[in-house]
Amino acid sequence: MVVKVAIDLALDRLFTYLVPEELEKKLAVGQLLLVPFNHRHARGFALEIADAPDEGIKYKLKPIEGIADEIPFFSASTLKLVKLIASYTASPLETVLKTALPAAVLKPGAKAKAQLFVDYLPLNSSLSLTKRQQWLYDQIVRLDGGWMSFLCRELSTTPQSIKALAAKGLVEIASRAKRRNPLSARKILPTKLLKLNNEQATALNSINSLNSGGALLLHGVTGSGKTEVYLQAIAAELDAGCGAIVMVPEIALTPQTVQRFASRFGDKIAVLHSALSDGERYDEWHRIRSGEARVVIGPRSAVFAPIKDLGLIIVDEEHETSYKQDETPRYHARDVAVMRANIEGAKAVLGSATPSLESWMNVKSGKYSKAVMTERAGAGTLPNVLIVDMSEGGSPGRIFSSQLMEAIGVRLDRREQVILFLNRRGYSRSVVCSGCGYVANCPNCDLAYTYHKSDNCCRCHICGGWVEVPKKCPECGGLFDFKGIGTQRAEAALKSCFKEARVLRMDADSTRGKNSHDDILGAFRRHEADILIGTQMIAKGLDFPNVTLVGVLNADTSLNMPDFRAAERTYQLLSQVAGRAGRAELPGEAVIQTYNPSQNAIRLAAKGDFSLFAEEELKEREEAYFPPYCHLSVINLRSQAPELVANWADMYAKSLMKVKDLTVGEAVPSVIEKADGWHRWQIVLRSAKVSTMINAWKWLTKVRPSPNGLKITFDVDAFNFL
């Protein structure tokens, strides 16, 4: 017997090993094996088992050294999914395998945390106990036993006192694995099913009646009660003996969502995301693998969770770009969710108030079914939206329009709350000489420094480098001025304009601590602040009943990005952030400040007319031959030698232009031409078939292998053009 093994290196090939006779009956596909490799010991996964090796193997077969874990880490269906992803993204199979498994699970020495647990035994009436011992025994019985550390803390006692009961045969003390629970710090109260309105009930019925392997787009306006529909759809799957996966864009930013699922399903849920400690991730993954946890919540990597008898995968806010991974393998978790559902005969539900145009087209073509929810659940109503043209009246650098200032003042008088959105952190976006116009740039990147007033320095948001604020211009000796507005500057202006208002800021600078997201949002929920200002992390997944005003300080930030999806992303972002207002009995209002009030994305987002926006945007995409009417991939080249990367990018582009059925753009510098010391160029490919682009890419790298000093990546269905 032989086994083909994927070694824990990105070699993009399998190696064949002999299976010792004593291990033949123990070996299974998906197990982690110990193997000899190139004069060292290595680990790898068993992917194929055969009675004899393939013909043509030129190396001498060695036997495997052992099986690291007899329980397979990957099921046959997960391995099929991994192979599909590797093929679709043109990525090494081993890299996809590592992506599908949390690093903490394979970390050397990783294991469950053992602690002492105390179980009570029947009371022997012939025993002589002190009053304290009798009381202690009665309390342990009342608590139905427990962890030694918990009992000592709860009962104000010591381990020695409990061990004295053990010596008399009244309790039993044993070492057990204790879960490192990522939700232990949160107080979670159980909740029951809510009564659905007609639209919710129709949507739930559509999900429950969905064919195995099918996909459904749940298009529901903000606040329409999609989460309750998800909860009841999952409950139906659990009743049928199946498990579920719930994917959210960024789990650290949506604590309310996690809490709602935990309150409904208790210990049946597991949470997987990068903010967990290694121990927490290890325990959560093994709870899923063993079947103890039946519902998994997490960002894109949760799509690989080893749920048994998977019945439902939900992708909440399916339009979010964070579902697309920016490093190899560059998969899109939404598409992988649909793939996995198809492989395992589960249902895939993609939910959004502002669906991606790719999913919208899949509905139009009949590939996905659709359910629609047009009204808010409960007493909430959609907010009134006011567009303010910032080019009319006032100073050019003003932060708040008079309309927004007045609206904030009214809410503060009423003791209601306000959310202000500005998708740019820091104090000012650039440091400019007031004399000659010289801009202070990061020397490692093709980007202006951002001034951060909180620590009085200039920071680069690409490489993370920083310098002290320059005292004078190196060109003319003039003084520097701070241009542009960031969240820190807007926060300072708010506190100056509304001196009695309590203001919280939520951005990448204020949320570096492990629980900082929870702390900020918890304080706002408890009305310890009147105004919450932040970047896009406050635009989604938040539900505060006392928020009646949302202000968008600059709607043009995303609109001006050099990306064919700029209008789509602007529409989505404005609709999502405006939807934070008026989610309970109190009516809501949104004020959108812009210099382009007639632009379609802004105008139609204010009206909430997604269908019309999608129709007009799709016409433009079709005429320009952009997704979803084709597949678009990007070849990114980078080098520390500017001439090397420019010459090879040009040569690659000209070579690819000869490929049939492939539209190839000229090689051009990336939008941010230099990042962290690397000069960057890119080539955009478009084709009706992904296979055409992948075959062209493989041919190119074979006939023209890149030289030393040049790094190249290939991004299928690309989302990032910076």
Tens-digit pLDDT profile for residues 392-422: 876 667 899 999 999 999 999 999 999 999 9
pLDDT at 454 > cutoff 90: no
Residues comprising the chain, all counted = 722
Q: How far apart are CA 179 and CA 677, in angstroms?
A: 44
Residue 625 confidence (pLDDT): 96
Tens-digit pLDDT profile for residues 593-618: 999 999 999 999 999 999 999 999 99
pLDDT at 255 > cutoff 70: no
Q: Which of 42, 64, 47 is nearest to 100 (CA)?
A: 47
pLDDT at 246 > cutoff 80: yes
3-state class of 498 per DSSP? coil
Q: Angle 667-668-670 (CA atoms, 0-180°, nearest 5)?
A: 130
Q: How far apart are CA 525 and CA 584, in angstroms?
A: 14
Q: How far apart are CA 561 and CA 569, in angstroms?
A: 10
Q: How far apart are CA 489 and CA 503, in angstroms?
A: 13
Residue 722 confidence (pLDDT): 81
Tens-digit pLDDT profile for residues 288-347: 998 989 999 999 999 999 999 999 999 999 999 999 999 999 999 999 999 999 999 999
Average pLDDT of the chain to the nearest whole number: 91
Residue 146, phi then psi, degrees to nearest 5: 160, 175
Query: How sure is the predictor about 258, in pLDDT bands with cuts at 50, 70 and 90?
Result: confident
3-state class of 235 per DSSP? helix
Residue 516 confidence (pLDDT): 81
Note the pTM of the prediction, 2 decimals: 0.87
Place of tokens 């945390």: 113
**Are 454 and 507 spatial neighbours (Cβ–Cβ below 8 Å)?**
no
Q: How far apart are CA 630 and CA 626, in angstroms?
A: 6
Tens-digit pLDDT profile for residues 531-544: 999 998 887 767 88
CA-based torsion, 281, 286, 292, 298: positive or negative: positive
Q: Which residue has the higher pLDDT, 19 or 183?
A: 19
Residue 280 confidence (pLDDT): 85
Residue 70 confidence (pLDDT): 87
pLDDT at 185 > cutoff 70: no
Tens-digit pLDDT profile for residues 42-51: 999 999 999 9
Share of the chain above pLDDT 70, in %: 98
pLDDT at 167 > cutoff 60: yes
Query: How sure is the predictor about 682, in pLDDT bands with cuts at 50, 70 and 90?
Result: very high
pLDDT at 110 > cutoff 80: no
Among 37-51, 255-269, 362-376, 531-545, top mean pLDDT goes to 362-376
Q: How far apart are CA 696 and CA 703, in angstroms?
A: 11
Query: How sure is the predictor about 115, in pLDDT bands with cuts at 50, 70 and 90?
Result: confident
Residue 458 confidence (pLDDT): 92
Q: How far apart are CA 438 and CA 479, in angstroms?
A: 10
**Are 399 and 489 spatial neighbours (Cβ–Cβ below 8 Å)?**
yes
Tens-digit pLDDT profile for residues 574-586: 999 998 888 878 8
Query: How sure is the predictor about 184, in pLDDT bands with cuts at 50, 70 and 90?
Result: low
Q: Which residue has the higher pLDDT, 514 or 358?
A: 358
